Amino acid sequence: MVHRYELSVLKALKERGGIGLEELISLASIGKDEAMWSLENLKERGMVRIDYEEDERAVLSDEGRDYAESGLPEELLIRRINAGEDEIRPSDLDDKGKLGLQWAKKDGMVEIEGGVLKLTAEGRRAGAERMLPDSRLLKELLDNPGDGAAIRSNGERLRRLEKRGLVRIEKHKKIKRIEIDEKGIEGLGEGVPDSIDSIDRSIIASGAWKGMEFKRYDVNVNVEKQAPARRHPMKRLLDDLKDAYVSMGFREVSGPAVESSFWVFDSLFVPQDHPARDAQDTFYVANLDKAALDDVPHVKTIKRAHEKGWHTKWREDAAGQMLLRTHTTSVSSRYLYSVINDFKQNPDKYELPIKLFSIGRVFRNETVDYRHLADFYQMDGLIIGKDLTLSNLFDQITKIYDCIGMKIKFKPSYFPFVEPGVEFMAYSEKGGEWIELGGAGMIREEITGIRRSKLSVLAWGPGIDRILLIKDPTISNISELYNNDIGWVRDRKGA
C-alpha cells in the first residue's frame, strides 16, 4: 500500500507524464518536504524514475540581507552627498559610511577635494538612479535565491558580491525530471493504509492513536536544508570556561572597558614610563576628561610604592588618562583594593579564600597576524587568602584547563605586578607546539600594602581567543572568529 502523499504524487505523474519538481508539487497539492519524502520512498520501490542535474544557487549572507533591506553603504553615502547636505568630510563618517566611501572611491563615484567628499560624473549618474545595480540584485535575491540561470546572467556582479561576503554561491543537486514507472501505475490500485503521519493534541487526548499504524520515517531522505540554531564557538568556549570557574567556587565580577591609566597600569605597579603605556601599544581616548582620583583611597599608597620602587616622580595627571583597557586585570585590581581596604579594618569579616574571575574584551595596538588581534577576549582569575603559594596557583589553573581538555605547562617570567611571576602555555596538537596563553603569579606586596604573612593574592590573565586556535582544528586564524558570516557558524561541524 502507498501513503496518501505518495498516492498524490503517482496520480500527478500519471496525469502529466515526465515533469519537474515544482510542477509536481503544484499538481499534487503537497509541500516540498512531503514531495521529497514521497519521491525517495517511491524511487526505492522502483515506482518512479528521477533524473538529477548539478546546479548552483546564490544565497544572501546576513550582511547581504541587511544591505538588501537598507541599501549598500556606498549607495547611502551617494544619496547623502547628492541630497546637498553640509560639506561631508571622511572624518565625519561612521564605520558604515567609511566602508561606503571605500567602495564608492573604488568604483570611481566619489572623490575628495580639499578634504571634502564630492561626486564624480559617475557618482552623479548613480545618484540619479533609484538604486545601484548591486543593490538591485541584492533586493532580487532577498526572498528568491538565484538559481543557475540567474547566476549565469549576473555572473560577474554576483562574484563581486561574493568577494564582499554578501552572497554565497552554493552547489546542489537539482531534480531535472520525474517519471512514473510500471510499478508506480500498479501502486495506484493498492489504496492508502489507515495510518497516522502526524500527531497533535487531539489524537493523544482522544486515544485515537491506539491500534493505529504510524508512518515510518526515513532519516536519509534528501529534504530541504534547514539551519538549526547553533552557538558560536566563542560563545560555547566562554560558557564552558565560566562553568569551570563557577564549579570551583569562583564568583564573576565585571568592570568598565573605558578605564583610567590608574587602574590599568598604576595600581598594578607598571612604571609610568613603561613602553606598554605608549600610544604605540595602547589606545588612549582623546575626547574624555582625565579621571578624578581624589576619592580613590589608594592613591597615596600607589604613589609611595611607585616612587620608592621605581625611583621616579609619580604624576597624577598621567594616572588620570583615559584609555581602552589593555587587560581585564583592571577589573581584578578594583575589587582587590576594595577588599584589601576593608580587610585592614575588619579582618574577621571575611571568609577566606575569596575567589573571583572576570571576562571581557580588551584592546591593544597590536600588529595583527594569525594569533594576534587589536581587540580580543581575556579572562582574569584572582584568589585572596592566607598562606597561598605558587603550588596553589598551578593547581587552580591546571584544574580549570583540565575542564576544557587542555594540557598546561608553566615557565618563569616577569610581569611588573607579580613576584614571582610565571607564563603558562597550552599544547597545540594541531601545530605540535606550545602556545602562550597568559601570565600569572603572586601579587606584589607593594600593590596590596599588606605583608604576605597576613594576606596573599594569586592572579592570572589568559587570552581566550587563542584557546580556540589551539583546540579547534578547523580554525587557522583568530580573525575567522569575527568574520560576521552566519554561514560559517551553520556549516561548522560540532555543536
Ranges of each domain in the chain? 4-60+150-214, 236-257+325-489
CB atoms within 10 A of CB 228: 5
CB distance 437 to 424 below 8 Å: yes
* CA distances for 237 relative to 46, 255, 439, angstroms: 49, 21, 20
| Residue 352 three-state SS | coil
For residues 34 and 32, what is the distance between their CA atoms, to the nearest angstrom? 5
**What fold characterizes domain 4-60+150-214?**
Arc Repressor Mutant, subunit A (1.10.10)
Residue 209's φ and ψ, nearest 5 degrees, are -75, -20
For residues 398 and 394, what is the distance between their CA atoms, to the nearest angstrom? 6
For residues 337 and 416, what is the distance between their CA atoms, to the nearest angstrom? 17
Number of helical H runs and strand E runs in the chain:
21, 15
Q: How many C-alpha atoms does 256 have within 13 Å on its Cβ side?
A: 10
CB distance 378 to 257 below 8 Å: no
Alpha-helix runs per DSSP H in 350-389: none
For residues 373 and 383, what is the distance between their CA atoms, to the nearest angstrom? 29
The DSSP result for 469-490, as a single string, is: HHH-TT---GGGGGS--HHHHH
**What fold characterizes domain 236-257+325-489?**
BirA Bifunctional Protein; domain 2 (3.30.930)
CB distance 312 to 273 below 8 Å: yes
Q: Hey, what's the cell of 243? A: 562553568
End-to-end C-alpha distance for the chain, whole angstroms = 40
Selection from 361, 360, 487, 484 nearest residue 99 by Cα: 484
For residues 10 and 39, what is the distance between their CA atoms, to the nearest angstrom? 9
* CA distances for 122 relative to 101, 156, 181, angstroms: 14, 20, 59
pTM surpassing 0.85?
A: no
> What is the CA 182 to chain-centroid distance, rounded?
54
Residue type, 463: G
Going residue by residue through the chain (495 aa), what tens digit of pLDDT does each one get? 677 788 888 888 888 878 888 888 888 888 888 888 888 888 888 888 988 888 777 888 888 888 888 888 888 888 888 877 568 888 888 888 888 898 888 889 988 888 888 889 888 888 777 778 888 888 887 766 666 556 667 778 888 888 888 888 877 777 889 988 888 887 777 665 566 666 778 888 888 778 777 766 666 666 666 677 788 888 999 999 999 999 999 999 999 999 999 999 998 888 898 887 887 778 899 888 888 887 777 788 888 889 888 889 999 889 999 999 998 889 988 888 888 878 778 878 888 899 999 999 999 887 766 667 788 889 999 999 999 999 999 999 999 999 998 999 999 999 888 999 999 999 888 778 888 899 999 998 877 878 888 889 999 999 888 888 888 877 777 777 877 777 778 777 655
The DSSP result for 164-196, as a single string, is: TTSEEEEEEEEEEEEEE-HHHHHHTTS----EE
CB atoms within 10 A of CB 469: 21
